[in-house]
Amino acid sequence: MIDITSLPAEIIQRICEHLSIEDVLALSNSSNTLSDCINQKAFWLRRLSKGSNNKRVNWKDVCIARDIIESWFEEDSNSIVNKHCRHYSCYCIDDLKILKFPHQHLSVVGDRGGTLSLIALKDFLSQEEPRPLCTNNQAHSGWIWSIACDNDVIATTSWDHELRVWSICESGLDMISQYS
């Protein structure tokens, strides 16, 4: 029997091309040897360029979004934006995600009071105190500490031991599933 760590990096990378991203990350985190084999720029560029059979990526939009976001974090202190959102139930935001296409103009925010809000990115940049497009003050009964999103779906987890799945609709956010 052969030990996977004794394989050349190229073969390990080819194996990883057939794995989900979660499995690739888990494998990479399992040992320094595998991490060195997997975490090479060429591997990630190949993986990115192949894309997914199920999804179509608009590379122009991806490049524009990346460049805009990078410009926010340049060393020029004039590009740094500090915002106060006093309308939240709590003053500490624990998670903020910029949504993916087709909602890339929105961010979803979860705070320590269990409030979940959608905020337009342009409002975040142009208004002194941006108002949310919609807010659910009782999204969770504890800190919202994790948010994940894909297409029209947002998943949130909280200290209340609940995982809730929300859909983005014209009226805001509708909870579609809950798991304990």
According to DSSP, the residues that pair with 119 across neighbouring strands are 107
Question: Where are the chain's structural domains?
Answer: 4-50, 93-179
Summarised one tens digit per residue, pLDDT across range 72-127 is: 667 666 656 666 665 555 557 778 888 887 888 888 989 888 999 998 888 877 88
Residue type, 169: C
Helix 41-50 / helix 9-16 crossing angle, nearest 10 deg:
30
Q: What is the CATH number of domain 93-179?
A: 2.40.10.480
Q: Nearest CA to 157 among 92, 95, 89, 103?
A: 95
Least confident segment among 24-33, 37-46, 123-132, 162-171: 123-132
Which tokens sit at 172? 């805001």
pLDDT given for residue 77 in this prediction: 62
CA 1 to chain centre: 39
What pLDDT shows up at residue 147? 92
As a whole number, the mean pLDDT across the chain is: 82
- The CA angle 38-39-44, to the nearest 5 degrees, is 90
The C-alpha atoms of residue 100 and residue 155 are separated, in whole angstroms, by 13
* C-alpha span between 152 and 172 (Å, rounded): 11
